Amino acid sequence: MSPFRRRRTTVITRPMARRRRRRRALLALGVTTALVAGASYGTWRYIEENEFLLDQRCAVRVGDTDHELSPTQTRNAALLAVTAVNLGLPPEAAVDALAMSLQETELNVRDSGDERGSEALFARGAPDWTAEDGARPVEITVDGFFEVMEESWREGLDAEEEDEEAELFWAPDLELDDAAEALDRPHNPQFYPQHGSAARAFALPLAGQTQGPDMTCHLSQLEVPGPDPEGVTEDLVTLMPTVLEIPFTEQEEDEDDDDFEAEPILDGIIETSGEEESALVSVQMPEKSDSEVNHQWLTAHWAVASAEDYGIQTVTSAPYRWDRDSARWQRLADDEADSVPSDIVQIGFSRDH
């Protein structure tokens, strides 16, 4: 035998070559699939954790049209709508207020005072020289706007009773351009009607003119403010004492007018149970009256519009519940719906409801 071992020769047949190529292809495919899956999972986790693709917005669907506002715009729309209802104005007042603010400031605060009524949601303009007592500035605050509207409406009703020559006063049946002219708004009256559809879409649910969940908000769970049931309660008392029929303490005969501050009596109307994230604000609706305002859905939609500011996670208006995570109103199961009285709106701050 030769001292040298004969090298073994391997003959690679065509079937063997095909099998090798197939194994290499499967291996490459497996690696590629794993990389894609890993990248997809990482991307999903990044989106889930950072929500950088979330388009924060509030929406109302009317027919086939979706109307949208930013959460801040919706919060301001709720302020205008609820203020109009609390003053006893017709729903058209809320529609006109929203449309005019959309035109003049895009429903954003230009200047802010210490109280909600002093927030400026309207544009500055030239003084009104038609006022009998001299120049009157164009009102830019919420309270000032509605004061002018109420005054104009009242003057129009008085003029109608006395059969005086018609002058343009604000009235619920006015078209938006005429309403803007009647209220001496600073922009060209022809600009306001373009905002009518969006204003009506949001104003009606926020003014309690609907019978169910018509508005929702898509909000981020990042940097959510801490639970603020006190802020919710204070806002409810400030914005809608008449709507919720909240009584106040009466002044004693020996109390000085300058020192007296009426305090709201909230027993049985607004109650808070639990603390921090487990807190639950329950708002008792007034007994049904001849008013066309649906107090339950006015309050529920206001709470959704206020969710971004106060860390609200759920709003329950039986038999529905709005959830911040899903951004939807979902019908409650029968047993859960039965546990929530139909005349109470519950505002929660926990994601684990």
How high is the pLDDT of residue 289?
74
Place of tokens 């007018």: 257
How high is the pLDDT of residue 241?
97
For residue 162, pLDDT beyond 70 = yes
For residue 347, pLDDT beyond 90 = yes
How high is the pLDDT of residue 344?
96
> Which has more confidence, 338 or 349?
349
How high is the pLDDT of residue 335?
86
For residue 266, pLDDT beyond 90 = yes
Strands 65-69 and 280-284: unpaired
For residue 121, pLDDT beyond 50 = yes
Distance CA 59, CA 234 (A): 26
Task: Encode pLDDT of 40-71 as tens digits.
Answer: 455 445 445 555 557 899 999 999 999 999 99
Count of other CB atoms within 10 angstroms of residue 320: 18
**Least-confidence region, from 104-113, 195-204, 267-276, 281-290:** 104-113
For residue 259, pLDDT beyond 90 = no
Distance CA 239, CA 249 (A): 18
**Least-confidence region, from 106-115, 144-153, 242-251:** 106-115
Task: Encode pLDDT of 207-217 as tens digits.
Answer: 999 999 999 99
For residue 243, pLDDT beyond 90 = yes
Distance CA 324, CA 308 (A): 10
How high is the pLDDT of residue 32?
60
- Three-state DSSP at 299 gives helix
**Least-confidence region, from 90-94, 98-102, 302-306, 337-341:** 337-341
For residue 7, pLDDT beyond 90 = no
For residue 170, pLDDT beyond 90 = yes
Q: How distant, in Å, are the alpha carbons of 15, 110, 135, 325 from that of 332? A: 64, 40, 56, 16
Distance CA 165, CA 155 (A): 12
Distance CA 313, CA 317 (A): 14
Domain chopping of the chain, boundaries: 55-207, 220-249+262-353
Residue 35's pLDDT band (boundaries 50, 70, 90)?
low
Q: Which of 88, 85, 338, 93 is nearest to 207 (CA)?
A: 85
For residue 4, pLDDT beyond 50 = no
**Chain mean pLDDT for the chain:** 85
How high is the pLDDT of residue 100?
98
Residue 267's pLDDT band (boundaries 50, 70, 90)?
very high
Strand order in the sheet with 215-218: 65-69, 57-62, 215-218
* Mean predicted confidence (pLDDT) in 146-161: 93
